[in-house]
Amino acid sequence: MDVNLIAYIKRYIVISETEIDTFQSYLKLKKIRKKEFLLKEGQLCKSRYFILKGCIRLFYIDSKGNEQIIHFGIENWWITDYESLINNIPSILYIQAIEDTELLELPEESFDNLCNEVPQTERLFRKIMEKTYIAIQKRIEYIYSLKGEEQFDLFVSTSPDFAQRVPQYMIASYLGMSPEFISKVKAKKK
Amino acid sequence: MDVNLIAYIKRYIVISETEIDTFQSYLKLKKIRKKEFLLKEGQLCKSRYFILKGCIRLFYIDSKGNEQIIHFGIENWWITDYESLINNIPSILYIQAIEDTELLELPEESFDNLCNEVPQTERLFRKIMEKTYIAIQKRIEYIYSLKGEEQFDLFVSTSPDFAQRVPQYMIASYLGMSPEFISKVKAKKK
DNA sequence: TAAATTTCTTAATCATGATTAATTTTTTTC
DNA sequence: GAAAAAAATTAATCATGATTAAGAAATTTA
């Protein structure tokens, strides 16, 4: 298994070498090229994905036909559509590679087996979810407390490397702003 | 243990009567009156709470001194400040009763013991978190896709009973709007 | 039930940031 | 390296909803 994922797992739970092997046995390496999709609207999402390398966006098409980005995924993030995965309903989301991307795919059936064979898996994903929840709640705080310009500044100062990697219009979409507004904000700084 | 909680748990996991007793042994009934606090800014959050009866709000004070409501909690919801609880840092949040409220308190130390004694607890909370995550992600979708009036209409039509129970200015705060705007929207409907 | 407090409403003004449309710059593809 | 496509910029206009301020209504408390 990838060293990234092993290190990642060990930050959350205690796990033996044998159990790591079991974990590994359920993972499938998957490579997708820039602009390819992991999931499209209407499909059933059946896996969780761990990003080894690359960059992903998760978005939906809003009522005006615009792509609205919900969040990005980069190295060492799990990504999936929980609504489709958990409730077994067709997805309303698209999951697409922004760069050529390498992932480890954990199909939900495998996940269930893994949880039975390596029970700490439950704890691992419980803790990951808690951490993810903290992040998304913080995001809601920022949406309501900061004005557009401040949100953009925060994003750039928190993830300067990432702001470089992703087209500006996608950052605009993620932050719920128009690309024109981002341009205006940047122009003001000069 | 309260029948509400037993029914709730059984929706997520398989659990024996003995295990339910163990679960129960870690819970403390707690009653707080309207306007009392479960948590204040600066304190360490050390428990998870299951709401048996009543209504709770979780909010922070923003840079302008306004109370910004992050979310509400009602019957059959778990409520806590994950950031403080998980990272062991002082909270920036307030958790306050909107009505006289009955809760079951699960201190984090008890939670850890419970997870070891009844391992399905991990699964229970993993699943609760996944469900909660789906809800909060949907909320972000609505924030970005719907204009103020539509968000308010959706809130009222999705939880009409709840909209009755909570003062309008709190709903405004939760939706990130001014109370005056809610008044305007309501006036328009007549 | 009267007084006090809290909540809600109305209306005028103002700020933020969307929209539209045209142009420029950058990146990709052949 | 030229053509095509994608991304970013600029500026004018417009809409949404905040802010301010005052007053009315409802609820709570004494």
Is residue B13 within 8 A of residue B61, CB to CB? The reply is no
- Taking only the tens place, the pLDDT of each residue in B48-73 is 999 999 999 999 998 888 899 999 99
- Taking only the tens place, the pLDDT of each residue in A23-68 is 999 999 999 988 999 999 999 999 999 999 999 999 999 888 889 9
Residues 6+ apart with CB under 8 A from A23: A1, A9, A15, A114, A118, A121
Which pLDDT score is estimated for B63? 84
Query: Is the Cβ atom of A28 within 7 Å of strand D at any atom?
Result: no
Claim: this prediction has a pTM higher than 0.85? yes
Does A115 contact B at CB distance below 8 Å? yes
CB contact under 8 A, A137 and B63: no
Does B7 contact A at CB distance below 8 Å? no
d(CA A65, CA A177): 15
Residue B22 vs residues A184, B79, B109, B116: alpha-carbon distances, Å: 59, 21, 14, 11
CA B100 to chain centre: 15
Q: What are phi and psi of A49, to 5 degrees?
A: -125, 135
CA-to-C1' distance for A26 and C5, Å?
Answer: 63
Which pLDDT score is estimated for A52? 92
CB contact under 8 A, A138 and B82: no
Shortest CA to C1' contact from B167: nucleotide:
C7
Q: What is the residue type of A15?
A: I
B1-26: b or e for each residue (b if 16 or more CB lie within 10 Å)? ebeebeebbeeebebeeebbeebeeb
d(CA A185, CA A152): 8
CB contact under 8 A, B137 and A68: no
Beta bridge partners of residue B105, listed in sequence order: B28, B49
Residues in chain B: 190
* Other residues' Cβ atoms within 10 Å of the Cβ of residue A93: 24
CB contact under 8 A, A129 and B133: yes
How high is the mean pLDDT of chain B?
93
Which tokens belong to B132?
Answer: 């909660």
Residue A5, CB half-sphere, CA atoms under 13 Å: how many?
Answer: 20
List the pLDDT tens digit at each of the 190 positions of chain A.
578 889 899 999 999 999 999 999 999 999 998 899 999 999 999 999 999 999 999 999 988 888 999 999 999 999 999 999 999 999 999 999 999 899 999 999 999 999 999 999 999 999 999 999 999 999 999 999 999 999 999 999 998 888 889 999 999 999 999 999 999 999 987 6
Which pLDDT score is estimated for B127? 96
Is residue A22 within 8 A of residue A117, CB to CB? The reply is yes
B84-113: b or e for each residue (b if 16 or more CB lie within 10 Å)? bbbeeeebebbbbbbeebbbbbbebebbee
Which pLDDT score is estimated for A1? 57
Which pLDDT score is estimated for B1? 57
Where do the domains of chain A lie, and which CATH numbers do they carry? 3-119 (2.60.120.10)
| Cβ neighbours of B83 in A, within 8 Å | 134, 137-138
| Cβ neighbours of A119 in B, within 8 Å | 119, 122
- Taking only the tens place, the pLDDT of each residue in B115-158 is 999 999 999 999 999 999 999 999 999 999 999 999 999 999 99
Q: Nearest-CA neighbor of A73 among A132, A144, A3, A156?
A: A132
Torsion (CA) A121, A86, B104, B82 in degrees, nearest 10: 60
d(CA A12, CA A4): 13
